[in-house]
Amino acid sequence: MQAASLVSVILPTYNRAYVLRRAIDSVLAQTHSHLELIVVDDASSDDTQSLLATYRDPRLRVVLMEHNGGAAVARNRGLAIAQGQYIAFQDSDDEWRLEKLEKQLLHLRQHPEAAVSAAGFLGLPFSMDSVGYWGLENLERNRDLMTLFRYGNRLSTPSWVVRRSHLEKAGPFDEAMSTWEDWELSLRLDAAGGFVMLDEPLHIAYDTRGSVKFNTSAYAEALERVMRKFPHWVHDEPRALSHHYWLMATWERASGRPRSARRYLHKALRTYPLNKRAWMTLMRRAPELYLLPPADAPAAPRRGGVA
């Protein structure tokens, strides 16, 4: 019988004691039990440490960061001490289903060339008034994953199980990025062996308050950094870049910053004049964007360490 593969699960957390137990329990209860769970506490000031102290499972390892450094730094710290042949990532507000690791390890065995098995997931908004499925059903089937990645982080890190060898080839998370660092790494992993998609929801992603993913300035910085690293895709897929600018415009408008929203909308249309969504936004929102828009509200403060 083949020995069970050791999986290192890395879970960065920052002030999420109120949901952390759910995330940890769902990892430790996996049907593939040969794992180590590395929880990296990114200098939390809440009850995270006392919560972690209640666990007696020897598979749990805790790393305490002295200073809050953000998700990329925390994940890299976990990677540095990981011993598994496979690496998986958990977020502090997500919940895995019991057979997630078992199914994704089998999936990788069926695709020996792939770097990453990415599974679908069920996403719940904070309002809990709906649910969405992110998997092949929602990814446009006529596009390859690389093209989809250009449109953003379609597969969040908790959906991945990565071969350690391929991750070492691709390199760690970019610590200069305060957000979307998983998106940037997915582009490198795609080049290092690629993703295979397991079209089944294997975890539940809960939208909790305080996610940096809705911080437009952090998003814009991340986009610029990705463009510098992967300049070719701007030429190959201007539609994707235009999509990002349009998305930023919608976030800025929703955040009460119509002037900033207008700037991003113009960039979206200059980059790809046939962007239908941008034109629709322009037509629907013209009064609030162009007719005496109020001064922009202050931008959300930058923060790190939310995972």
Residues forming the site for another protein (CB under 8 A): 22, 25-26, 29, 31, 95, 97-99, 122, 124, 127-133, 137, 199-201, 204
CB of 227 to another protein, least distance (A): 33
- Rounded to whole angstroms, the maximal C-alpha distance in the chain is 72
Residue partners of 232: CB distance under 8 A and separation at least 6: none
- 62/124 with CB nearer another protein: 124
How near is the Cβ of 122 to another protein at its closest, in Å?
A: 5
Contacts of 97 (CB under 8 A, 6+ apart): 26, 201, 202, 203, 204
187 vs 204 by CB, closer to another protein: 204
* Comparison of 97 and 262: residue with beta carbon closer to another protein: 97
**Residue placing its CB nearer to another protein in the complex, 118 or 223:** 118
| Cα–Cα distance list, 215 to 77, 299, 301 (Å) | 24, 8, 8
Would you say 37 and 9 are in contact if contact means Cβ atoms under 8 Å apart? yes
> Which class for 239: exposed (0-12), middle (13-18), buried (19 or more C-beta within 10 A)?
middle
User: Rounded CA gap, 226 and 217, in Å?
Assistant: 14
- Which lies closer to another protein via its Cβ, residue 50 or residue 283? 50
Q: Which of 2, 127 has the CB closer to another protein? A: 127
Shortest reach from residue 130's CB to another protein, in Å: 6
Query: Could you tell me the smallest distance in angstroms from the CB atom of residue 240 to another protein?
Result: 25
CB 181 within 8 A of CB 102: no
CB of 283 to another protein, least distance (A): 28
Q: Which of 40, 36, 91 is nearest to 64 (CA)?
A: 40
Residue placing its CB nearer to another protein in the complex, 133 or 214: 133
Amino acid sitting at position 217: S
Contact 108, 163 (CB under 8 A): yes
The C-alpha atoms of residue 88 and residue 94 are separated, in whole angstroms, by 13
- Least distance CB 7 / another protein (angstroms): 18
CB of 96 to another protein, least distance (A): 10
